[in-house]
Amino acid sequence: MKSLEELKAIRESMQAQMGLRGEDSNQTRIVVGMATCGIASGARPVLTTLANTVLEKGLSNIMVTQTGCIGLCQYEPIVEVIEPGKDKVTYVKMTPEKALEVIDQHIIRGQIVKKYTISEEIE
């Protein structure tokens, strides 16, 4: 069994580090819809993939979070990318693979992955 002693050790090793990230206004938020419609369409693996990838790639100032149903159930799983000072980008019918592409192209390189956005889907 993994114990909380290990967590204490992690805490102690961080004592010296300054500027730990909390939530702030410069943060980019990646929001996953997690109501019944989203969950039934596969939102959980999308969310865990996003959280794990942000962790593995050491991306700072990115917050992966969740919301409820936004009324577009037929397009779930939905992922919104909200960057400070920019228009919100809504990705639809997401999968863990598409989520990885969004991290690589949009979050890291700043290029919106147009083919997965809601405007492409509706056209």
In the complex, the smallest distance separating the C-beta of residue 121 from other proteins, rounded to whole angstroms, is 18
In the complex, the smallest distance separating the C-beta of residue 114 from other proteins, rounded to whole angstroms, is 25
Q: In terms of CB distance, is 30 or 89 closer to other proteins? A: 30
Contacts with 95 (C-beta within 8 Å, 6 or more apart), sequence order: 42, 45, 46, 77
Q: Give the binding site for other proteins (CB under 8 A).
A: 1-2, 4, 6-8, 10-11, 13-14, 20-23, 32, 34-37, 39-40, 44-45, 47-48, 51-52, 54-55, 58, 63-66, 68-71, 73
In the complex, the smallest distance separating the C-beta of residue 90 from other proteins, rounded to whole angstroms, is 14
Amino acid at 37: C
Measured between alpha carbons, how far is 9 from 85 in angstroms, rounded to an integer? Answer: 38
